[in-house]
Amino acid sequence: MKLKYSDEKHIFNIHTDGIPYLSFDMLDSLGVPNLFSTRYISYDEAAGTGVKGLRCAVMKTESVEEAAPVCRANRDILAHQLGSSLDMELVTDQKHTNYVHVATCEEDLGVATVGTFAMHRQFVDGIVTDIPDALLTVFGGDCPPVYLTDPKRGASGLVHAGWKGTLGKIPQVAVAQMTVKFGCDPADMYAAIGPGVCVDCYEMGDEVYDVFAEKWGRDDADMLLHRYPAKDAEGNEIPGGKYHLDLRKANLLTLLRAGIPADHIAVSNVCTMCNVDTFYSYRGRALENEQVAMMVNRFR
């Protein structure tokens, strides 16, 4: 599978048996089943071609009754490729919040559709759990997922970190929940920041700089957002320009400040917008569907 990487670090393993997906090498080495999907339904490595059109998330424009069975069937195949099933799935409705649900009972497992979510699962963008073999699931077009796991305490978390969730430090919220509810020590935890839009592609308005300066402080805002020069039709720089937000750096900083050691954190070097041939991308105007991120609360 052809991917454009921002550096030469070996972050991901690519799997092309069944529905293709990427997995984090660090999480694989811990024995934690994990994946990040692509556009591909299947891929022939030898031929270098594949069948596209994978649907795992019900889009807002779709009929839930018609789309949900197809999306669930595809997610169930992916779940089985991780040695799990949708009977063990934990998923939220994702409204770009920094709210994290703590799942401790089996009633949370296997929710069929968004419409059946209980109130405590609505307007939530992350889940943490200590339920053995629970399958954590989030979706995204350009918003990176953040995977969290503590092999020592047998707990895991998965959050959807768009710019609003990142602003609200949702990975830190998840770490805090795991610490308070499950007795986790951040020093024992591992984290992985999944594929999403890179800083070069992520153009934002001045209001985003202002809100980061207000919530994080001006020093952090200056570190995370930079004005890129505007260019005319001939490519010449002209005064002004848009801010660009570094989601990877912001979430990495949040994880480090939450106490997770730097050598326990893997940061994606794959941009969804730079790879619109392989991934769905809202910013790349290629959002026919969304990627799914999955992780099983299981350890070697």
Q: Which residues contact 23 (CB under 8 A, 6 or more apart)?
A: 12, 13, 15, 33, 34, 35, 36
Q: Give me the residue spans of the domains in the chain.
A: 12-202+246-292
SS3 164: helix
Fold of 12-202+246-292: CNF1/YfiH-like putative cysteine hydrolases (3.60.140)
**By the 8 A CB rule, do 196 and 143 touch?**
yes
Return d(Cα 137, Cα 124) in angstroms, integer: 12
For residue 114, give the H/E element and its range.
none
SS3 165: helix
Q: What is the reported pTM?
A: 0.95
What is the block-wise mean pLDDT of the chain (300 residues), using blocks of 10 residues?
A: 94 97 98 98 93 89 77 95 96 92 89 61 90 96 97 98 98 98 98 97 95 98 92 75 95 98 98 96 89 96
To 10 degrees, the CA torsion angle through 101, 103, 107, 110?
80
List the structure tokens of 43: 């891929």
